[in-house]
Structure 1
Amino acid sequence: MTEPTPAQLQPLPDDWQRALAVVAHPDDLEYGCSAAIAAWTDAGREVAYVLASRGEAGIDTVDPATCGPLREREQRAGAAAVGVRTVEFLDHRDGVIEYGIGLRRDIAAAIRRHRPELVVTLNHRDTWGGVAWNTPDHVAVGRATLDAAGDAGNRWIFPELTERGLAPWNGVRWVAVAGSSTPTHAVDASAGLERAVASLLEHRAYIEALTDEDPEAYARGFLTSTAEATGQRFGGRPAVAFELFSR
């Protein structure tokens, strides 16, 4: 019996100027969608990063007090490699980030500060494609980001943010979820793939703790294979996939 052909992914809308990417840890964006971000900054769009934690619990052989500043430096360098200058940290505790009012408030505040039209986050579901368990941090931050996109525009939710000078922002038009097992849209990764590799390589301490493989071979292999697999549903061009939620 012939397997059904997967539906082709649609181009992500490009009629926007400002994006905010919200994820749990340093390296989440570099593994997920930095080739798309490079394409966006090339086109003159503004992209800012907000990370819920500093990734301080991410390297078993490095204590959190040392690891947090190390991974922050790697994240700022990784962002710069794809043209992103603004990187903020919310200082939730790595590994035990909790979905709830506090996290939603912090992300809504970031959305009000940056006033994006597009919000980007990472897979908020329990698994990666039904075959690997997702981490609680990814689930909490992804879900809270989807909720905070609405919270940010409602003056009666978190009125304390208005009192702090953060006026409601109801201008989020889409939330794009990277790493989804049910993507709907994609961005051509051709021009940004080399910078995406360079961006992931900035997380060298993390990669060297994760694998014995040569870091460049590891980063290039992972990102290239993922982009090429996505490209099979995007006209044969290497691509970054997103599940797009309109607002």
Structure 2
Amino acid sequence: MTERADQQAPLQPMPADWRRALAVVAHPDDLEYGCAAAIAHWTDGGREVAYVLATRGEAGIDGVAPDECAALREAEQRASAAVVGVSTVEFLGHRDGVIEYGPALRRDIAAAIRRHRPELVITLNHRDTWGGADGGGNWNSPDHKAVGRAVLDAAGDAGNRWIFPELISEQGLEPWDGVRWVAVSGTTTPTHAVEAGPGLERAVHSLLEHKAYIAALTDQDPQEYVRNFLTGSVQQAAARFGGVPAVAFEVFPR
């Protein structure tokens, strides 16, 4: 099957036989732009989801100094997560805008996976581009690429006691080889989807919690901007999911 044919194939339902998920992304708002409707659907169903963010988003607002911005965006992210039923939000403290892919990042994410012991790990598009019907479109953020790649690798690192053995000796984090899938949001090559359903309205309110960031990003009315963006996203996935508005993921089984 060609890549173009793959992009027209029906999306499969996401795996449902799991209890715990961990979402690992680069910045505050990454999950809200990508998959908060799915997370609301899952937490409504009794599943546990925790968030880990590589940065505090301190370089995200041009007119606000990094220290002030970091505290502001961290508070917005915690409020945003609460809207979709997520109470655990952790920040790894990597520098916004200059995250480096490598062992240090993989180790921090592997440690988070060992702490939370998820069956499903969620991250954001790790490829060079996003958007575009043919897989082209816009150049992706270097932070997104670094974190996404590190998450895919760390899902394996977390289960190997001989990779980052200091996680055992220094932090008491025993290996966790229970990750069964890594689901990538915002990809141009999705394979699976989750019905947006009532979670979409929660997703709208979740993204609206990023008040300062949205105000700096657009002059459009925040309600209109957020609702149009998220509705357009789930409608695009509906074309390959039986006409049902959905959140799409590319799923890598382990």
TM-score (ref. length: structure 2): 0.95
* Aligned match of 1:175: 182
Counterpart of 2:248? Answer: 241
Query: Distance in 2 between the 1:117 and 1:191 partners?
Result: 24
Amino acid at match of 1:102: A
Determine helix, strand or coil for the equivalent of 1:19.
Answer: strand
Equivalence map 1:140-155=2 (5 Å): 140-155=146-161
Q: CA deviation at 1:109?
A: 0.1
Match for residue 235 of structure 2 among 216, 224, 228:
228
> Counterpart in 1 of 2:173?
166
Q: Could you list the per-position Cα deviations for residues 108-148 of structure 1 after superposition, in whole angstroms to 9, with x for gaps in the alignment? A: 00000000000000000000031100010000000000000
Q: Which residue of 2 aligns with 1:133?
A: 139
Q: Which moved more, 1:228-237 or 1:22-31?
A: 228-237
Give the equivalent residue in structure 2 for 1:211. Answer: 218
Identity %: 75
Confirm whether residue 104 of structure 1 aligns to residue 110 of structure 2: no
CA RMSD of aligned residues (A): 1.0
The residue matched to 1:243 in structure 2 has which SS? strand
Structure 1 residue 95 displacement after superposition:
0.3
Amino acid at match of 2:107: R
Q: Give 2:13's match in structure 1, choosing from 11, 14, 22.
A: 11
Shift of 1:6: 1.3
Amino acid across the alignment from 2:214 = I
Matched to 2:85, the amino acid is: G
Extract unaligned runs of 5+ from structure 2. Answer: none
SS at match of 2:187: coil
Q: Which residue of 1 aligns with 2:62?
A: 60
> Which residue, 78, 81, 87 being the options, matches 2:80?
78
CA deviation map 1:44-67 (0-9, x unaligned): 000000000000000001010100
Q: Which residue does 2:33 correspond to in 1?
A: 31
List, as ranges, runs of 4+ consecutive aligned residues in structure 1 with deviation greater than 2 Å: none
The alignment of Structure 1 onto Structure 2 pairs a total of residues equal to 245
TM-score by length of 1: 0.98
